[in-house]
Every structure is written in C-alpha cells, then in structure tokens.
Structure 1
Amino acid sequence: MTLLALGINHKTATVEVREQVAFTPVQLEKALTELRALSVVHEAAVLSTCNRTELYCVVDDAGEQPVLAWLSRFHDLRIEQLTRCAYHYHEGEAARHLMRVAVGLDSMVLGEPQILGQLKDAYQFARTHKGLGGELERLFQHTFAVAKQVRTETAIGENPVSVAYAAVSMASHIFDDFSRATALLIGAGETIELVARHLFDAGVGSLIVANRTRERAERVAGSINAQAISLDEIPDALAKADIVISSTAAPLPILGKGMVERALKKRRYRPVFMVDIAVPRDIEPQVGELSDVFLYTVDDLQEVIEENRRHRQVAAEQAETLIEQGVEHWQHERRIRSAGDLIRRYRGYGDELRAASEAQALAQLARGEDPEKVVSRLAKQLANKLMHGPTLKLREASGAQRQDLIKAAEALLLDPSAPSRDS
C-alpha cells in the first residue's frame, strides 16, 4: 500500500477551476464515503479550503488514477481538465507536502495560521466518519506535532498575516480614512471573524455582519460592536457599504450584478470596494464589470502576500529544516513498524509449525511410541520445516546471483557467536 496526496491549489489552478473542485460542507460526508468505498482506497481524508482541495489516502500501488477519476466524476469535470492542474505525491513526498501545508509553507500567505485549524478539522471529520486507519492517524498526529514545533521554534507565526489581513490591507490603500467607511461582511466563519477583527482594529466606522443564520452573525458581531443581519437583508445593507468582503461556503453566488446595480443607484454611484475570498465565489464575476465597483478575488491579493513572503523567508527556511527532520523521523518510525509487522507474521508462522508438530508428537506418545524417538523425530521435523522455505529462497538467490539477498540471509539466519563446523 502507498501513501498518496493528490489535489490542486492556488499555484496550479485558477479560482474558476478551484471553485469547481471545492467540496461544500454538505458534500463532504458523501465525498468521503464514496472515496473510501473505492476498492483501491483503504484510508482517506479530504481537505477543502478556498485555496486548495486535497485528498490524503492510503491506496493500493495503482490507486492514484482511480482516485483522480473519482474526483473528476464527483465534480462532473473532464479528467483531462483536472489532470492539467492536479499534483500528486507518494510516500515521503506526500508526508512532506502535508507538513508543509500544515505550517503554511504551501499557502498563498506564507506561514498563515488558519490552514492548521482547517487541517485539524479535516482530520477530525475523517476520523469521525471512519475515513482514517492507523497509517493516516499516525501521520496526522505526527504532522500536528511538527507544526507545533515549527510555530514554537521559528518566527513563521509572528505578526500573523492571513488572506483576511491582506484583504483589509488592500482596502486601507483605497480608503484614506477608515473611520468614515461602512463595511459589510458576508459569512460568519473564521476568515470573516479575522476580517472583522482587523477592520475593527483599523478603526472602521461601522460594521455589518450578514449570515444565513442570524445567531452566528450575532456571535461574530458581538465582540466588535457590529450590526448582525440575515442574508435577506443584504440588499438594504449593500446600499450603505463602502467595503464588502465575503467568505461563505455557499455553492452559488450571493451577490449578483443586478443586486449590486440597484445598490449603486441608491448610493448615487459612490464607489464600492469588494473582495470575494470564497471558493466557490460569492460574488458574480460580472459585478466587476460595473464602473463603480472594484472587485478582487483571493488571486488578486498577491502583492500584499508577496511582501509578507519576503519578511518571512528566513523563518520559512528554518521551518523547512524542521520539516525534513520530521519526515525522516516519520519514515524511521514507519520502517520500525513495518519490521514489527514482519516479525509478528514470522513468529505466527513459527507458532503454527510448533503447534502442529507438538500435536503430532502428543498423538504419537498417546499411542505408546518410544518417547525418545518421538522427541528426536519432533526436533528433526520442526528444524526441517523451519529451514525448508529459506533454503529454497537461498538456492533461487544463488542461481540469480543475488549476493545482496545471500548476505542479508547470512546476517539474519546465522548466529555469529555460534561455532562453525570447522572449528
């Protein structure tokens, strides 16, 4: 079996493709169940964020292509289209990729802290829905330990910057005085909470938080003295908003061109700054065609993100070193476990031979046979059975000139302290 990491991210696929491949929360259980049901898949976990969709699986040696084919079927995409932007890693490379994702080295914003929480959620979901076995369980636990070490021993997490921060930073370049601006935030997840906190700290004039359930909007709004509304109230709030930042898990856009046009008319066409952080997108791309709207997606935050990347490069190099050590440790422990499995199987084989020989000897004793002859025959038969298989394999190895196998057999089968026949 093989460890496989397969997916797409912001570096390999545009937002148009990413939103097609993203799993909504309501799809996740069905997706994990289907993926786990593939005959080649033994364990599986699904990570889906605005910047990446990744599958972590333990598969048969030929399992990669069936997993890719399943992903294309699930999202009704041509497999050729998916293949062009998908990446895949196996074994140690897969473990290394997961660790780099966990510490934010593979993120759009270098070192951003949100991804670790999202990865822990994906792990917990897979665990709850029986997607994990021993292999992925150990890998995720080891990855979280490495991520904690990186956060503790490097500056990768100092002054944490996220996509949320980048969005607010971009807005600050457009509005000279935040205190006179009204911001409408759509969603109530972790990203919107971060956006709300950054805007509040920057002194934005007023904040409105809209969400499908008003209770969740109130939870976000409560700590920052913001107004909470439902999605039905967005058209009225939109007319007041100078800044609109959206990040929901809705499968379809929430803001359409017509709704925004009507809001602009009420605003007397005062400009609006919009950032759509969601994947799939919350704001129809056609909204960006309106002359008084400045619409950006996560892919447009690159300049702010690159500045962050430069400041964190030294910490990133230190993190890479810790990850390499983490991968080596994981591989070492895995090899030990693999040898342990072989030892258990070999001891089980020896126990089966012993039990069979013992039963045969006891039956002979019960029939009144000479005990000395029974014991002698037992010892000879048991030795012959134990040596038969290795003897055949050694002859085959000798005929094939496999000196590596012969040397390994010599080290494994012969006791160096035992005297030779010639001594």
Structure 2
Amino acid sequence: MGAAELGRALAPLLGKPVPKHIAVACSGGADSLALTLLADQWARPRGIKLSALIVDHRLRQQSAAEARQVADWLKAAGIAAHILTRRGARPKADIQAAARAARYGLLAEWCAGHGVRHLLLAHHREDQAETLLLRALRGSGIDGLAAMAPSRPLTADLQLLRPLLDQPKARLVAALQARGQAWIEDPSNRNTAFARVQVRAALGQLDQDGSLTRHLATTAANMARARQALEQLASEALHRSVAWHEAGFAWLDAAALRAAPEEIGLRALARLLRLVGGLPEPPRLESLQRLLNHLDEPATLHRCRLLPVAQGRLLPVGQGRLLVHREARFPPEPLPLGSLQPGRGLPNPAWPSLVWPRLVWDGRFDLALSRPMPGYRLAMLGKALPPALLAREAEIPRAVWPSLPALWRGKTLVGLPVLGPVGKADAVIMRFRNSL
C-alpha cells in the first residue's frame, strides 16, 4: 500500500478544508506503524503537520522501553512522536476494556490540548471481521453488527478516522517490509484468555484464503448502511414528535412517537434521552422498551425525567405531551472558568466564528468564553430562584430549573448563560448540543 492510496481513503473522511494538523495513534505494531509512515508521506508534501501518539499503558514491564523504541523509529523518519503514559494502579478485571478506555482518554486529552480534531486509527479488514464476530456472539443487533465506522466522534471536537477498514493486514506488513522497517509484537495479542484473541485464532483456522474475512467485512458494511437508514428515519420521527428548547429540554408528543414503527421509536427515544441527559451511550434496550410502552406515565431514565405537560404546564397523566428534562441528581462537578483560555474572534452573537478551544459542559452544552473569567465557575442552578426565571415560568417549567447551567462567583449567582447575555457582554457563550 502506498501514500497515494491512503490519501484517497482519507479524503472523504477529512472533508474540506483539509486540517492543518492531524494525529495518528501508533502502538508500534505493524498496522499502526505502517499507517503512521504512510500518513506522513501523504501529509508532508501538503504542508499538514502530523503527530504520532504512543500510549504506554504500563501493563507490561517492557512497555516503557517499547514506547521509546517506537518514538526513536518515528523520530528517525522525521515524524513528531509523543509518548502518553497511563497513570494509576493496574486494572484488576477486564484489562483490555480498561486499557482501551485509558488509551482513548489520553489520546483525546492530548488532541484537545493541541487543537487536533482528527485522530487516525489503524483498524483494518481483519479487525473489522473480528469485531463483527465478537458482537454476533453477544447477540448484537444491527448497530453492533455494523462493527466499526470509518469515522465517528470520540468527543465534541475529536473525530476518529479509520481509513484502512477495507485493507487486509498483509498489505500493511508488506509496506513495512518494503522499507526494511521493524515493528513491535505485543504478546497480549497471543493471549488466549482474551475473547478477541480466541476469535482471531478461530477465524485464522477457517479462513485460509482470506475470503471469509472479506465477506464478514462486507457484511459489516451492509449493516452500517442499514443502520444509517434507520437512524435517518429516527431523526425524522424526532422532528415530527419533539419540540426543543434552547435551555436543553424538550416537549415530546408521545402519540406521534408511538405512531412510528417500534424500531424507529426506540431509536428516536434513545437519541432524545442521550441529548437531554448528556450521556454518550444509549440506555439499555430493556429499559427503553418499558419506557416506550408506558410513555403516558411519569418516568426517569438515563439522567432524564419525563413528566406529562401541555404548553409547558404540568398536567395529570394521559393529557397532552411529555416534558423531558435533565435530572438535577448526579450533577457535574463545578467547572472553574479562571484557567480556561477565551476564544478569539467571537463577535456577539456569531457562534459559527468560534475557534479553538471549545468545551462541553455536562455532555449537553457547547461552551466558550469571550473574555477571561477569573473567580467564576459554572455549575447547576440547584435551588436558587433568579427573577429572570420567575418571569419565564410559562416558557420554562419549574421542574427544569435546578439542572440549568448557572454562572457563579463564589456563592453569588451571576446569571444563566443559556437564557441570554451575562453582564455587559456574552462572557460565557453556551449552546445546547441538539445534534439530530
């Protein structure tokens, strides 16, 4: 495989304008090392800065030396390499899942600190086939069998890109061999205590010519198309049945949602709860099913409360719509604003001009500052009753108030950024992340 071919795979994933700085996760294995070297060949003549990120999980005695070796290889090739080290005790259970979570956390943190919005990963055709089999063995539905997507968000400002999903591992190994480049072999990839290693071994025995792996990857791509179609239908169902408010809550027409096919209704309801509750993962299917079957009744799920309403007023069960809002339980930690760098070029109220950095508060609101804010913090409103809300009770039900984002200075409530300017200027800019 060559750099030009990688570039053709990357182009639709990166979009336009092409970013000035991208990162690649490089473990030092054949797959990620080949991707890093090819990405550098593609990026360098285009004036794109490439940073290689090497995560030292500290799970094996040799890991630190291996990370340094990979960094030396990359630096010899003229590639900026950064070692990110996991801290803390060794996980006692589900080691691979814990390592994956730590890895993505470190990668996202580095990218956030350096203005990088695209992170390349080296998952290839065999990885895709293994993922599909693992999820099939767990009884996954369409979403699980769609396996890994070529592009997906890791955070609000970081997109994971997998340009090699159509490529067999052998081509990546051949790319390294052609330039005489060695690589690291991780012994955990041969540890049969891990389910993925067991599936990999079984697949290797059954697939002598690579055709089974190719067909499994094609199945995953077919499932991904089906998932995309279902998600589009779920978006349309949400548009028909939900009215949003900029303060981060919604009114749900239960009858309109139930009129959709059950699969579409479940997907739409899951997305509604994710957006209002601010959690990245959907609720459990069993809980979601129970909620859909009893939508006329008050309920709590996924950090959300659902209450019968009509035109913003709470009503007895069975009359009107449902108010869906974030519970005030389990609030996020207060966010000190003094250390945050203000965004530059933010003429009020031109949100599209927002430049890095941008934060997400409580998983629900985009946040930026137009000027330094020493001594201020952002936290839920709680039991405070500001006059601005009392005047808008017909629009914003009292049940919503405690979970609203509020700006505080010490114990003094300064304002509610999602409801308008705070002080003489829009010092704190917030927008509900209604990403339908």
TM band (smaller chain): under 0.3
Bigger share in helix: 1
**Which protein, 1 or 2, shows the higher relative CO under an 8 Å CA cutoff with sep ≥ 6?**
1
- TM-score if structure 1 supplies the norm length? 0.23
